Amino acid sequence: MRLTPGPAREVDLDGLDLFDLDLYTSGDPHPVWDAMRDRAPLHHQVLPDGREFWSVTRYDDVCRVLGDHREFTSERGTTPTHVGVDDPAAGVLLTSTDPPRHTEVRRPIGTRLTARAVKSWEDSIRATIVRFLAPALDGEPFDLAERALLLPAMVTGPLLGIPEKDWAELVQLTAMVTAPADRHFRHGSEAATLAIAHHELVTYVKEWVTARRAAGGEDESLLHHLMSVRPGGAPLTDEEIALDGYSILLGANVTTPHTVSGTVQALIERPEQFAKAQADPSLIPNLVEEGLRWTSAACNFMRYAVDDVEIAGGTIPARAAVVAWIGSANRDAAQFTDPHQFDLTRDNAKRHVAFGFGPHFCIGAPLARMTLRVFFEELLQRFESIELVGEAEHLRSYFISGMTHLPIVAKERKTP
């Protein structure tokens, strides 16, 4: 998906297909979202097979849909791949569960992922990122987007308790879940790709739990911590642990690489911004927030209306699917001045909703923020300049906004 929009154009909202994968792979959805926020902030689409959904694109409406589980439930599925077909894991899977159960499962995991808790991992994460960037120092072409797919596993694998030998396979499987139509990850039909990935990931966590139980003892990994969570006073079943572990693996792997690639691309296209961040490292935390806003790697989330809901000048009928477009909300001019400008000094960049909003706000946000900060600290310290040496290739997905290829050449920065 293009992150810097092309020229404004006429948009036929009546004939609009928001699930047209070409719009995100080779097209430009930002003028479409601009038109929707202006003329159709509540948009209705019927798919060729009869399934239908509503869309909200304004910042305030996106926050309302994601923030109020009493009006908009997660317990029928939360990704557009499930639109009109209830997710069989809903009500158990952490991402597809409403409070109070969601809170009871999430809270004990969240205590391990606060900003204070993850601070102790900074040195090991920095060492990982230094190792990740090292091959680019030789001045040869380096496909940042392709290599970055593995970066979250390199960072979170040890924290989750996942052995290094399994990282590449799990990254491939999580990508199959979120981009089943992309040629790099597709196995047969999209439905088959999703089914294979879901089965393999859940089976992996089940086998991990079985092996840990057999081994006995305790460890500090997040997956092991799931085994001690007791919502409502009862321990999670192995099936529930497997599904919640599946949620954690997805969250850990699928967005950070695309934030890295998209933000680096923005800096390449705007060398004055690169120079500004390099000259003043105190700007890097805000660069991270602007990068999160700019890339909006989780492009949307879905909910279902519990009852008829009036919103954005219209009515969503009870039990209807509604897609909240994160990528649009983060470019809403009512919230962000000159939203299509990448500006690392933007004073309210942190108001983005790239991590979602409300009860399902990304539980790993503190870890993601720290990882991105350390990444850009090391990149700006080590590289004098970065150039694009080929075409970016965009992920074929309407759910995750990202890239599969971003070939670059970096010039090493000489220390005085």
The pTM assigned to this predicted structure is: 0.95
Q: Over the stretch 274-322, which tens digit does the pLDDT of each residue have? A: 999 999 999 999 999 999 999 999 999 999 999 999 999 999 999 999 9
Q: Are the C-beta atoms of residues 117 and 108 closer than 8 Å to each other? A: no
Contacts of 281 (CB under 8 A, 6+ apart): 377, 380, 381
Q: Which two tokens stand for residue 307?
A: 């009852």
Give the rounded distance of the alpha carbon of 354 from its chain centre: 7
What's the pLDDT at 6?
83
Helix ranges restricted to H, 216-295: 222-226, 238-253, 256-269, 271-279, 284-295
Rounded CA separation 314/34 (Å): 18
Q: Which long-range contacts (CB under 8 A, 24 or more apart) does 329-333 make?
A: 329/57, 329/58, 329/59, 329/62, 329/63, 329/353, 330/59, 330/293, 330/294, 330/296, 330/354, 331/30, 331/33, 331/34, 332/37, 332/57, 332/58, 332/59
Q: What is the pLDDT of residue 240?
A: 86
- Per-residue pLDDT, 416: 59
* Domain range summary for the chain, segments of one domain joined by +: 21-335+365-393
Q: Which residues of the chain have pLDDT under 50?
A: none
- Paired with 403 in beta bridges are 394
CATH number corresponding to 21-335+365-393? 1.10.630.10
